[in-house]
Amino acid sequence: MTSTADSTSGPRVAVVIVAAGSGTRLGADVPKAFVTLAGQSLLERSLHAVRGMRHAADPVVVVPADRMDEARRLGFEIFGRLIDVLPGGGTRQRSVQEGLSLLDDGTEVILVHDAARALTPSALFDRVVEAVVEGGHGIVPGLPVSDTIKRVGGDGEVHETVDRSQLAAVQTPQGFPAAQLLAAYAAAETEETDDAGLVAAAGHAVTVIPGDAHAFKITTPWDLRRAEELLAGASLPRVGFGTDTHGFDASAELWVAGLYWPGEPGLAGHSDGDVVAHAIVDALLSAAGLGDIGTIFGTGDPRLAGAHGSVFLEETRRLVEEAGFRIGNVSVQLVGNRPRFSTRRREAEDTLASVLGAPVTVSATTTDGLGFTGRGEGLAAFATALVVPGR
């Protein structure tokens, strides 16, 4: 198989995306994975989700035989390289088996994902990988069943109410230690509707972790309409606002707006105290609905001690993009008596823009001697950010 996953920073992960079904229940005029949803096919959306994972992963795509060129082209556009594409089988299980045939011995964790679950967030893929590594066994995402479930006879007569407290509606991606999944498929004697069924039949444990409502399977025209409505509701740009304040600490170096300011008193803080970067982080996280800097970057994290603003900005950009947005622009104002900002404004804007991949404008002001900034006790920054749905 074609591998680029970085095995030095985590387990070697492969994601088999099964996209070879015909979509009988959807009834479209093309195979379901190639149906367009708000401008992108279901397969394309699933590939983007894999591309957005924090864990590097090698995709293997299984499609109808006459769609292989199209799938290769999509893979190349999204991953910037050739990805493995195979023709599928007559059932989902056969299609997964085809995909597994390409994996090499170095693969440690295998995820199997339905292209039909096109709105599954990248974060769910990462959570499944982490749970497999931690547990050493199969992991399936699932949601509690909210309807009352009846066991019904062929004539419609209700025989019993099933105890729903013991039920979970399971989704994909389903993840497994590679050896367990490969052995279960090699030994398969039954036809199961999911991979966990085969792994459990082979005698291995499988655990359910919380799934995600967005990972629902597009099966019927109603599901497709629901997905379209979800995306339409999420098509407007979103704005966010963030502020940050740090007091001066004469023993520290001053880092503001991603730049080092020699000869200036620094700012106190767990990290380098870059108020401009931190206000931008809050504005971006807020715009994307991802919480705030304290939620994502805890002060208890030793990796962030003394960290420069670029570390926070890079990770924030990744999170915003993973959540399905791109950054439109950022505007930030620094408030304080010093440093004299105007001479390096352009340099600061270019530095921040290159980290965020979007225009950043920075202004600076004083407060006429009023307040803590006016008294020269510290700096404050106020930022707004615009994020736009779509990658």
Ligand X SMILES: Nc1ccn([C@@H]2O[C@H](COP(=O)(O)OP(=O)(O)OP(=O)(O)O)[C@@H](O)[C@H]2O)c(=O)n1
- Chain contacts with ligand LQXTBERG (rule: CB under 6 A): 92, 114, 170-172, 193-194, 217
Q: How far is the CB of 194 from ligand LQXTBERG (least distance, A)?
A: 4
Residues binding ligand X: number (CB under 6 A) = 22
Q: What whole-number distance in Å separates Cα of residue 48 and Cα of residue 243? A: 32
* Neighbouring residues of 163: CB distance < 8 A, sequence distance ≥ 6: none
Binding span for ligand X by CB under 6 A among 86-94, 242-250, 261-269, 295-303: 86-94
Q: What whole-number distance in Å separates Cα of residue 44 and Cα of residue 227? A: 14
Was 372 annotated as part of a binding site? Answer: yes
Q: Does 118 bind ligand X (CB under 6 A)?
A: no
Q: Which residue number, 63 or 334, has a Cβ lying nearer to ligand X?
A: 63
**99 neighbors 56 (Cβ within 8 angstroms):** no
Q: Does 16 bind ligand X (CB under 6 A)?
A: no
Was 246 annotated as part of a binding site? Answer: yes
Q: Which residue number, 42 or 360, has a Cβ lying nearer to ligand X?
A: 42
Q: How far is the CB of 217 from ligand LQXTBERG (least distance, A)?
A: 5
Q: What whole-number distance in Å separates Cα of residue 346 and Cα of residue 351? A: 9
Measured CA angle at 268 (ends 361, 315), to 5 deg: 50
Omega before residue 173 within 30° of 0, cis: yes
**60 neighbors 1 (Cβ within 8 angstroms):** yes
3-class DSSP assignment, residue 297? coil
**126 neighbors 52 (Cβ within 8 angstroms):** no
Q: What whole-number distance in Å separates Cα of residue 331 and Cα of residue 100? A: 48
Q: Does 91 bind ligand X (CB under 6 A)?
A: yes
* Total residues found in the chain within this entry: 391
Q: Which residue number, 108 or 194, has a Cβ lying nearer to ligand X?
A: 194
Q: Which does 95 bind (CB under 5 to 8 A by kind): ligand LQXTBERG, ligand X, none?
A: ligand X
Q: Which does 328 bind (CB under 5 to 8 A by kind): ligand LQXTBERG, ligand X, none?
A: none
Q: Which residue number, 171 or 245, has a Cβ lying nearer to ligand LQXTBERG?
A: 171
Q: Which does 329 bind (CB under 5 to 8 A by kind): ligand X, ligand LQXTBERG, none?
A: none
Quick one: which of 107, 84, 103, 87 has its CA closest to 95?
87
Was 270 annotated as part of a binding site? Answer: yes
Q: How far is the CB of 75 from ligand X (least distance, A)?
A: 16
Question: In the range 98-117, which residues lie near ligand X by CB under 6 A?
Answer: 114-116
Q: Which does 33 bind (CB under 5 to 8 A by kind): ligand X, ligand LQXTBERG, none?
A: ligand X
**49 neighbors 41 (Cβ within 8 angstroms):** no
Was 91 annotated as part of a binding site? Answer: no
Was 294 annotated as part of a binding site? Answer: yes
Query: Which residue is at the shortest CB distance from ligand X?
Result: 21
Was 104 annotated as part of a binding site? Answer: no
Say how many Å lie between the first and final Cα of the chain, rounded.
27
Q: Does 45 bind ligand X (CB under 6 A)?
A: no
φ/ψ of residue 301, rounded to 5: -80, 110
Q: Which residue number, 56 or 143, has a Cβ lying nearer to ligand LQXTBERG?
A: 143
- Determine whether 273 is exposed, middle or buried from the number of CB atoms within 10 Å of its CB (0-12, 13-18, 19+): buried
Was 113 annotated as part of a binding site? Answer: no
Structure tokens at 260: 């080092």
Q: Does 150 bind ligand X (CB under 6 A)?
A: no
Was 48 annotated as part of a binding site? Answer: no
Quick one: which of 356, 239, 376, 262 has its CA closest to 309?
356
Structure tokens at 323: 């959540």
Binding span for ligand X by CB under 6 A among 5-13, 90-98, 140-148, 248-256: 90-98
Q: Which does 20 bind (CB under 5 to 8 A by kind): ligand X, ligand LQXTBERG, none?
A: ligand X
Q: How far is the CB of 133 from ligand X (least distance, A)?
A: 25
Q: Which residue number, 140 or 287, has a Cβ lying nearer to ligand LQXTBERG?
A: 140
Measured CA angle at 171 (ends 169, 176), to 5 deg: 120
3-class DSSP assignment, residue 217? coil
Q: Which residues bind ligand X (CB under 6 A)?
A: 18-25, 32-33, 62, 88-92, 95, 114-116, 217, 219
Q: Which residues are annotated as a binding site?
A: 244-246, 270-271, 278, 292-294, 365-368, 372, 375
